[in-house]
Amino acid sequence: MPRFDEGRPEMTLEEFRLLRDHVYAHCGILIHENMKFVMERRLWPRLEALGIQDFGSYHRYLRYDAQRHAELEAAVESLTTHETYFFREPAQLKAFCEELLPILEKRNAHTRRLRLWSAGCSSGEEAYTLAMLLKDSGRFNDWDVEVIGTDLSRRVLAVARRAEYGPSALRATPPDLLERYFIPVGVNRVRVRDDVKAWVNFGHHNLADVAGSQLVPRTDVVFCRNVMIYFDQAARRRVLGVIRDRLCPGGYLLLGHAENLLSLGADFELVHLKGDLVYRRPELPGGEGR
Amino acid sequence: MSDTVRSPAGQEEARYRALQAVDPRAPGALETFTTGLHDESWRVRHAAAEGLRRVPDAQGVTARLISVLGERGETGARNAAAEALAGMGPVATQPLVHLLEHEDPDQRKLAADILGQLGHPEVEDVLLRALSDGDLNVRVAAAEALGRMGGPAAARALEGLLDTPTPLLRLAALEGLASLKRAPPLERVMALVEDPALQRSALRLLGLYAPGVATERICRALASPVRSVREAALVALGTQAGALGPYERGELDAVARSVLGGIPGVTERVAQALDGEDVQVRAGALVAAGALGEASLAVPVAEVAREDRLLREVLFTLGQLGPDGRRLLLEGMGTLSLPARTVAAEALVLLVDATSVPELCALLEWAEDDLRAVVVRALGRTRSPQAVAPLVELLADPALSGIAARALEQLTVAHPLASLTALEAAVEQRATPAAVAVLGRLGGARVLPLLRRLARDEEASWRAAAVEAAGRVDGEAGLELARGALADESPRVRIAAVRSLGQQGGKEAATFLGLALKDEDRGVRVAAVEAVGAAGAKERSADLESLVRHGDSGLAMLAVRALTKLGTVGAGVLWDALSHPDAEVVKAALAALASAEASADGAALAVSLLGHPRWDVRVAAARVLGGLGRPECLLALEQALSVERDALARAALADAVARLSSGR
Ligand SMILES: C[S@@+](CC[C@H](N)C(=O)[O-])C[C@H]1O[C@@H](n2cnc3c(N)ncnc32)[C@H](O)[C@@H]1O
DSSP assignments along B316-374, one per residue: HHHHHTHHHHHHHHHHHGGGS-HHHHHHHHHHHHHH--GGGHHHHHHHHHH--HHHHHH
Please state, in angstroms and rounded to a whole number, the distance separating the CA atoms of residues B401 and B391: 9
pLDDT of residue B630: 84
pLDDT of residue B472: 85
Q: Give the mean pLDDT of A64-77.
A: 91
Distance (angstroms) between ligand 1 centre and the Cα of A119 equals 7
pLDDT of residue B598: 45
Kind and range of the H or E run holding B641: helix B634-643
**Residue B137 CB burial class (10 angstroms; 0-12, 13-18, ≥19):** middle
- Is the sign of the CA dihedral B317, B319, B324, B325 positive or negative? positive
- Is the sign of the CA dihedral B512, A53, B415, B395 positive or negative? negative
B640 Cβ contact list (under 8 Å, min separation 6): B610, B611, B618, B622, B653
Please state, in angstroms and rounded to a whole number, the distance separating the CA atoms of residues B325 and B250: 20
Q: Nearest-CA neighbor of B158 among B177, B183, B145, B140?
A: B177
Which chain A residue's Cα is nearest to B526?
Answer: A65
- For B247, which of A3, A66, A283 is closest by C-beta distance? A3
pLDDT of residue B330: 84
CA distance readout (Å), A201 to A127, A145, B508:
9, 11, 59
Q: Is the pLDDT of residue A286 over 60?
A: no
Kind and range of the H or E run holding B135: none
B645: which DSSP letter? -
CA angle A25, A26, A32 (to 5 degrees): 60
Please state, in angstroms and rounded to a whole number, the distance separating the CA atoms of residues B653 and B610: 9
Mean pLDDT of residues grouped by 10 in chain B (664 residues)?
Answer: 57 83 90 93 87 90 92 88 88 92 92 90 90 92 89 90 90 91 92 91 95 95 95 96 85 95 94 93 96 95 89 89 87 81 83 85 77 88 92 89 89 88 90 89 86 92 94 85 93 95 89 93 95 92 90 92 88 84 92 69 85 94 89 92 94 94 73
With a threshold of 0.80, does the pTM exceed it?
no
> For A82-96, A256-270, B250-264, B485-499, which range has the lowest pLDDT when averaged over its residues?
A256-270
Kind and range of the H or E run holding A278: strand A277-280
**A280 interaction partners in chain B (CB closer than 8 Å):** 4
Which chain B residue's Cα is nearest to A13?
Answer: B648
Inter-chain contact A271–B319, Cβ cutoff 8 Å? no
Inter-chain contact B338–A49, Cβ cutoff 8 Å? no
Ligand 1 pocket check: which of A27, A88, A152 to mutate, most ligand atoms within 8 Å of Cβ?
A152
Residues of A numbered 257-286 whose beta carbons fall under 8 angstroms of chain B's beta carbons: which are they? 262-263, 266, 269-272, 280, 282-283
Inter-chain contact B553–A64, Cβ cutoff 8 Å? yes
Distance (angstroms) between ligand 1 centre and the Cα of A147 equals 16
- CA of B197 to nearest chain A CA: how many angstroms apart? 32
CA distance readout (Å), A221 to A117, A138, A254, B499:
6, 18, 8, 55
Atom of ligand 1 nearest to the CA of A27: 19
pLDDT of residue A88: 94
- Is the sign of the CA dihedral B82, B83, B86, B88 positive or negative? negative
pLDDT of residue A287: 44
Q: What are phi and psi of A274, to 5 degrees?
A: -65, -40
Cα-trace Rg, chain B:
34
CA distance readout (Å), B508 to A89, B505, B549:
69, 8, 27
Amino acid letter, residue B256: A
- Is the sign of the CA dihedral B647, B653, B658, B664 positive or negative? positive
- CA of A115 to nearest chain B CA: how many angstroms apart? 22
Ligand 1 pocket check: which of A122, A206, A224, A255 to mutate, most ligand atoms within 8 Å of Cβ?
A122
